[in-house]
Structure 1
Amino acid sequence: MAERLDGQHVLLTGVTGFVGEALLLLLLSDVPGVRVTVLVRPKGSTSAAARTAALLRKPAFADVVEAAGGVDELMAARVDVLEGDLADAPVLPSGLHAVVHCAGDVSFDPPVDEGFRTNVQGTRELLARVREAGPDLHYVHISTAYVAGRRRGSIPEGPVDHDVDLEAELAWGLSQRRVVEHQSRSATVLERERRKAERTHSRAGLLTAAAATESARKEWVKRELVRIGSERARSLGWTDCYTFTKALGERVVEQHARDAAQPRRVSIVRPSIIESALERPYPGWIEGFKMAEPLILAYGRGELPEFPSSPDTIVDIVPVDHVVAAIVAVLAHPPEPGDPAYFHVSSGDRNPLTFRVLYDTIRGYFDEHPFAAGDRGAARLPDWRFPGASSVERLLTTSERAHKVADYVVGHAPRGDRTRDLARKLDQQGRRLEFLRRYLDLYREYAQAELRFSDAQTHALYRSLSAEDRASFGFDTAVIDWPHYLGDVHCPAVTAPVRRMDEARRKRRAASDPVLKPVREGSAVAAFFDMDGTLLSSNVIETYLWLRLREQSGTERWGEIGRVAAKVPALVRAERRERSAFLRAVYRQYEGARLADLDAIADEHLTDHVLSRLSPDAVRRIREHRNAGQRTVLITGAIRPLTRPLAPLFDHIEAADLAVDDRGVCTGFLASSPLVGESRAAWMRSYAAAHGIDLAASYGYADSHSDLPLLEAVGRPVVVKPDVSLYRHARRQRWTIVDWASSESNGRSLNPAGGLG
């Protein structure tokens, strides 16, 4: 084959993908007489040439690069870069002998317009350029065996029989984004998403809720485009939008081959499920997660209790080195013009792998090499009994309903360590259920497919090769020993990077606090702290009673506690709706108090108590920031007298100021609107601008979802013993979460001066 291809100039698409990368490597290493042009699109500010050079610097290419004397030398001698995109394919270079089209959308559930744009329109655009480049080019199209769709039985290597109107479906698919975007702005969709966002984010602010609404609208568009594509595909006999658009892409290729005016040489290669290399460039070589990896990893973690397949159903897997070896063989043996050649690169017909063997082998691997499950030792592996798809669906549906009820309860439970722990466990379960739902819906058809892809033509091509070529370009899948490949090659390869990530996570969790990061030369950094719940284990109602009860006699104190207790339900409802309304309602209770008396009480009676309630971890953290030369700022909705004991710790304190009359008596109102939610972020931006502070390098510390804008305003947010909503948001954003211990001397006295405990 090296002789057949000697002196040829081949254009490859999709070399930044797994198959294209493997094919480029094989051509460079084993077909020395071939010159390759790669069609690569720029990515951001990175040019196509730079992306190609980065590709060639990967470890898999090390031997080829070393033999050439370096990446630059290899590119100069054998690899040309054609910058462009299939959406607007550039003019192809002159002197081409063949084009291998590996690029395409390989997601099973792409948005419908993206699937059509890449797999159908992109193929058509490329073929238009192929026709311009010359009449005798050999075009090799990489498709998928699953273009057979929902058929059953033996699938021959030939065209898929269907009468779908290609032009009508293409026009429809490309138009759907505009249609769905229009629907997403309807009052029905917007009102539903806005109400959900406001229920979650109203305490943080209406703009935060608005941003969440818009984010939800965009997610709705994406989901709807996926749903529409899947439903259209299934209505016409395909499993999903991926296989549907790949089948229509093949029809475009067939039209190109059978052009009555100028018949052309076309080969269509259909791999089944492509997984890691059996041997080359080394056993287990794989780039990214493919079809089976998420399922293997989920099973190893004990998170895949069942699968909707039968134990005797064939799962058709083929190693990537077999796929690219077959492509090179096809490339070296072009068919006659006008007579497309079809090749299945598959294993199920002559060397079937059943789900039972797959399950037993993977279970055996994890029995010997288990994942750790935290402090509980090895993850417990589920016992698959293959009860059937309907039973798996019922189990999943019941679990989803139970999770929804539990999630509602936890979301409305009082804040605390136990509530956060329950939320964490529920979130883990929710992610597991989402994973199961996604893969059950996505893979159900493949898990139940009664397909056997005949590879007679592919095997005949292999048998026609010389003994030397069979050794160098092996693609006879009958030789694969499945227990060896899965247990000794594939599973170790796909679990190794996950084990490394798990170890890195354990090391990060070992540090209870974030490390102070170095500051850029010449930049000013601040650390912004919330007070109640973050520095102090207290709340606004409690701190109100600290001040008010000190002024009153024993009988009056009990009356005040009863009066406040009666208002708690209404105050809680106000706090959940809008934090500023809640604060105003509490501070109305200061009407008639003298501000000077409140200051005196704070100085004379509350200083020791407030300082005793401070978390030692919080004090240590504040001092670390000050020692690092960073400005410390307390920003709180508490009234200013309560912050007086904390003044030595902070460079600036921004607190609520009570309005007073000309006698210094509190009116029950505030001097200005309280800084809560989005107003905190606005104040921080103003403060930073006035003091030359780099917010992107600054820190924020808070505990409540209402403080979300404060945390989002800085580049280094830290969440302290958060409520459930903030805890979940922080985990999604990968923010630092700390659990600062309360002071050992912490007491819950409502009257620190004595008389009530």
Structure 2
Amino acid sequence: MATQQQQNGASASGVLEQLRGKHVLITGTTGFLGKVVLEKLIRTVPDIGGIHLLIRGNKRHPAARERFLNEIASSSVFERLRHDDNEAFETFLEERVHCITGEVTESRFGLTPERFRALAGQVDAFINSAASVNFREELDKALKINTLCLENVAALAELNSAMAVIQVSTCYVNGKNSGQITESVIKPAGESIPRSTDGYYEIEELVHLLQDKISDVKARYSGKVLEKKLVDLGIREANNYGWSDTYTFTKWLGEQLLMKALSGRSLTIVRPSIIESALEEPSPGWIEGVKVADAIILAYAREKVSLFPGKRSGIIDVIPVDLVANSIILSLAEALSGSGQRRIYQCCSGGSNPISLGKFIDYLMAEAKTNYAAYDQLFYRRPTKPFVAVNRKLFDVVVGGMRVPLSIAGKAMRLAGQNRELKVLKNLDTTRSLATIFGFYTAPDYIFRNDSLMALASRMGELDRVLFPVDARQIDWQLYLCKIHLGGLNRYALKERKLYSLRAADTRKKAA
């Protein structure tokens, strides 16, 4: 599956050399980023010893292997591998992809003590990309998956002192800090939290306090009211300590937990910014689902949103998913090559190849006006209204002022026996909802730096920079946004998913 260049130059690649024969455990491969990491390892590192996937069973597919075959291996992310050599791809899945039925949030991942210990002895490295990326998640759920489950990650690593741990976090653990954000431990922008002499923050008391507040809410409410109260609690606590949402707050807490638990051991934290469609690999524009920026793009394309809170001069930090996957793999190779260290890398574009929100909007509007018909799943017709970014105060005044008379008109229509909802009122509510969730990200006053990541790429050598590019300076933003990304949304995210099935193992054996 490796290209001829890779086969001939493997000895010159530090990454391929470090990963040869190694066994890597990965979580989160049912998600967007996890699939791209998995695909890249299979395609580019043919001599890897084994890839172990921790997968939670579900009602339809209770066993990990069954879910893997039906929900992961069937994904279009593997089209390139299937096209290049389908037989080799399926053989690799059979022989070197090992599926473990387990739940990252459960003690020992839900495994027996013996199986948990055996797993620790089998793997050389652990890539944890499992997370809840719901910005307005109920606090108990976000705390469980983004913070507390890392106790289980640490417990596995404690059984194997040589294990390298790669934790996928987010640049937005930055919270409400402004200015140049470096690859370092982030100081909370809100209420004070004690800091250890090793640099991380002591969060045990804070976590207990949050759990007490969660218990109090659960004792007083139930059903949908309880869900809303837990969402509100998460946002309130996040704001109090310096974050805009529950997701980034609990991801920051998770970083602190791991830094303390794995002090003196090998821990690499990789922080991507806003992850969007692939620049080149596995194919230009590959994406799964609608991501952060896409929700707003889709609302504009469907003419539901034309006004949004944002700062046109602010740098919106978007990074293609393949650059993030490459960053994870580079950091994995480095972690396997050295002694226990704590490293932090940010995979981002703002510090080296910035694009302003204004330019981002202008590129997309220009493409929509001239080529909307090329994106038939995205645009139903040529957009007739511009997409305007205004400051938050003006946005609230305009939207709030429009909503009051429209609400009155809607009530009057219902009293008159007309039950249909005013379209403009529905669109306003869509705008307000999107603004509540994403408004913080469209008015940035920070710039993420990736100097350490670029230094890592330089240390890895020329061939690895070709095989695993991480430099955002290669992005032509107009080409990427107008052709690659919109094309990817149209082809992959908004069309009915094409499923691939694997030939049965016995069928291949008979054919052989």
Q: TM-score range by the shorter chain?
A: 0.7 to 0.9
Does residue 337 of structure 2 align to residue 342 of structure 1? no
1:253 maps to which residue? 258
2:265 maps to which residue? 264
Equivalent residue for 2:57, pick from 34, 42, 46: 42
1:401 maps to which residue? 404
Count of aligned residue pairs for this structure pair: 454
Question: Considering only aligned residues, what root-mean-square deviation do their CA atoms show, in Å?
Answer: 2.3
User: Which amino acid in 2 is paired with 1:413?
Assistant: A
Equivalent residue for 2:67, pick from 41, 46, 51: 51
**Gap runs ≥5 in structure 2:** 1-14, 195-201, 497-512
CA distance in structure 2 between the aligned counterparts of 1:226 and 1:483, rounded to whole angstroms: 37
2:33 maps to which residue? 19
Equivalent residue for 1:97, pick from 111, 124, 130: 124
Contact between 1:299 and 1:381, CA under 8 Å: does it hold in 2? no
Does residue 156 of structure 2 align to residue 139 of structure 1? no
| Map 1:12-411 → 2, pairs under 5 A | 12-34=26-48, 35-46=50-61, 47-54=63-70, 55-64=72-81, 67=85, 69=87, 73-88=91-106, 89=109, 90=111, 91=116, 92-132=119-159, 134-162=160-188, 163=193, 166-184=203-221, 218-258=223-263, 263-334=264-335, 337=339, 339-370=341-372, 378-411=381-414
Deviations 1:257-278 (A, max 9, x none): 31xxxx2101000000000001
Shift of 1:48: 1.1
Contact between 1:304 and 1:382, CA under 8 Å: does it hold in 2? no
Q: Residues 252, 399 of structure 1: CA spacing in aligned structure 2 closer, same or farther, 3 A cutoff?
A: same
Deviations 1:224-248 (A, max 9, x none): 2111101111111111111110000
CA distance in structure 1 between the aligned counterparts of 2:495 and 2:86, rounded to whole angstroms: 33
Shift of 1:338: 5.2
**Gap runs ≥5 in structure 1:** 186-217, 502-757
Contact between 2:270 and 2:347, CA under 8 Å: does it hold in 1? yes
Shift of 1:385: 4.7
Deviations 1:381-409 (A, max 9, x none): 43345431111111111222223212211
CA distance in structure 1 between the aligned counterparts of 2:103 and 2:174, rounded to whole angstroms: 28
Identity %: 26
Deviations 1:134-177 (A, max 9, x none): 10111000000010110000011011124265223323434555
Task: Using the TM superposition, name which of 343-352 and 41-50 deviates more.
Answer: 41-50
Contact between 1:13 and 1:39, CA under 8 Å: does it hold in 2? yes
Per the normalisation by structure 1, the TM-score is 0.57
Contact between 1:140 and 1:266, CA under 8 Å: does it hold in 2? yes
2:47 counterpart SS class? coil
Task: Using the TM superposition, name which of 53-62 and 172-181 deviates more.
Answer: 172-181
Task: Using the TM superposition, name which of 353-362 and 67-76 deviates more.
Answer: 67-76
Shift of 1:221: 2.0
Deviations 1:617-643 (A, max 9, x none): xxxxxxxxxxxxxxxxxxxxxxxxxxx
Q: Residues 70, 304 of structure 1: CA spacing in aligned structure 2 closer, same or farther, 3 A cutoff?
A: same
Contact between 2:305 and 2:430, CA under 8 Å: does it hold in 1? no
User: Which amino acid in 1 is paired with 2:123?
Assistant: L
Contact between 2:80 and 2:282, CA under 8 Å: does it hold in 1? no
Shift of 1:72: 5.8
| Map 1:715-726 → 2, pairs under 5 A | none
User: Which amino acid in 1 is paired with 2:262?
Assistant: A
Per the normalisation by structure 2, the TM-score is 0.84
User: Which amino acid in 2 is paired with 1:144?
Assistant: T
Q: Residues 245, 316 of structure 1: CA spacing in aligned structure 2 closer, same or farther, 3 A cutoff?
A: same
- The higher-RCO structure (CA 8 Å, 6+ apart) is 2
Q: Who wins on radius of gyration, i.e. which is larger? A: 1
CA distance in structure 1 between the aligned counterparts of 2:75 and 2:493, rounded to whole angstroms: 20
Deviations 1:416-457 (A, max 9, x none): xxx35xx14x1x334322221122112222222211111000
Contact between 1:113 and 1:177, CA under 8 Å: does it hold in 2? yes
Contact between 1:40 and 1:83, CA under 8 Å: does it hold in 2? yes
